[in-house]
């Protein structure tokens, strides 16, 4: 199995902010963005940002 964390950078009010895609629940997952810019002060919950790929040829194929 492969594991992947998807991260993006967005400009919000002229400030660079980092986010990771996160999901919770089983079946139809609720997806949301977990902020990681202020990890020094507020640690992100990275366990919901870790996706396991089973029998996938590539991340690009998703």
Task: Give residue for tokens 């919901």.
Answer: 48
Rounded CA-CA distance 36/7 in Å is 9
pLDDT of residue 24: 76
pLDDT per residue as tens, the chain (62 positions) = 567 788 889 898 888 989 988 887 666 667 888 888 887 777 778 778 777 776 666 656 55
Whether 18 is covered by a domain: the verdict is yes
Q: Look at residue 61 in the predicted model and tell me its pLDDT.
A: 58
* Domains contained in the chain, number: 1
The reported pLDDT for the residue numbered 28 is 64
In a domain, 62, yes or no: no
pLDDT at 32: 83
Position 33 scores a pLDDT of 85
- Can you give the residue range of the structural domain that contains 46? 2-53
Residue 6, Cβ neighbours under 10 Å: how many?
13
């Amino acid at each position: 199995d492969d594991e992947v964390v998807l991260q993006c950078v967005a400009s919000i009010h002229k400030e660079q902010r980092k986010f990771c895609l996160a999901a919770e629940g089983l079946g139809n997952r609720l997806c949301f963005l977990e902020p990681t810019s202020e990890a020094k002060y507020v640690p992100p919950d990275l366990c919901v940002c870790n996706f396991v790929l089973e029998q996938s040829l590539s991340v690009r194929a998703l």
